[in-house]
Structure 1
Amino acid sequence: MYLNEVKNVLVDVLNLGEAGQALEADSPLLGSLPELDSMAVVTLIGALEEHFGIVIDDDDISASTFATLGSLAAFVEQKTA
């Protein structure tokens, strides 16, 4: 459920277009998507907070959170629980 919503936010924030629609749960993000730089991570976090009505603290974020689309979706799901 969260996977597609998180993917849609990611695609919008990074302007990935059609290429973004091919992302799967095991698709690597950080280090694999050139669009996902440090500024994009900050923008993405803000977009996820707004879309899902959650608050993401700096302490919550690690590289493993952004390892794959699936890990990011699982993180968002955990924050909304």
Structure 2
Amino acid sequence: MSDEHNPAQVRSAIDTQLRSILADVLGLDAAQVAEFDADSGLFGHLPELDSMAVAGLLTEMEDRLDIMIDDDDVDGEMLETYGGLLAFAEAKAGEA
């Protein structure tokens, strides 16, 4: 068995990248982002993540995670919590 496609390794890589993207795009402290869990609120909870920041966040996600995000993919639910955004990024990365 090859562990080349081990979901835990893929997930942790996406998780790490996503935390880095959030810190960079929103100008958040890395320590704050490191403490995010699945229920950590994002849109509507972080003043840094406003409607203008969403576009930059999604663009960075596309570039760094090598995914395509269609307008139809974006909804409030996927941006509501860190867990929702991570699940979205994992699903998109799985499509590639």
- For CA contacts below 8 A with separation 6 or more, give which structure has more relative contact order: 1
Matching residue of 2:36: 23
Larger radius of gyration, structure 1 or 2? Answer: 2
SS at match of 2:41: coil
Change (3 A) 1:29 1:72: same
Q: 2:73 aligns with which of 46, 60, 70?
A: 60
Moved more, 38-47 or 10-19: 10-19
Per-residue deviation at 1:8?
Answer: 1.4
Count of residue pairs brought into register by the alignment: 81
- The TM-score, its normalising length taken from structure 1, stands at 0.92
Point out where structure 1 has 5 or more consecutive residues left out of the alignment. none
Where does 1:1-81 land on structure 2 (aligned, <5 Å)? 1=12, 2-17=14-29, 18-81=31-94
Which runs of structure 1 show a deviation greater than 3 angstroms over 4 or more consecutive aligned residues?
Answer: none
Alignment identity in percent? 42
Could you list the runs of 5+ residues in structure 2 that have no partner in the other structure?
1-11
The TM-score with structure 2 as length reference comes to 0.79
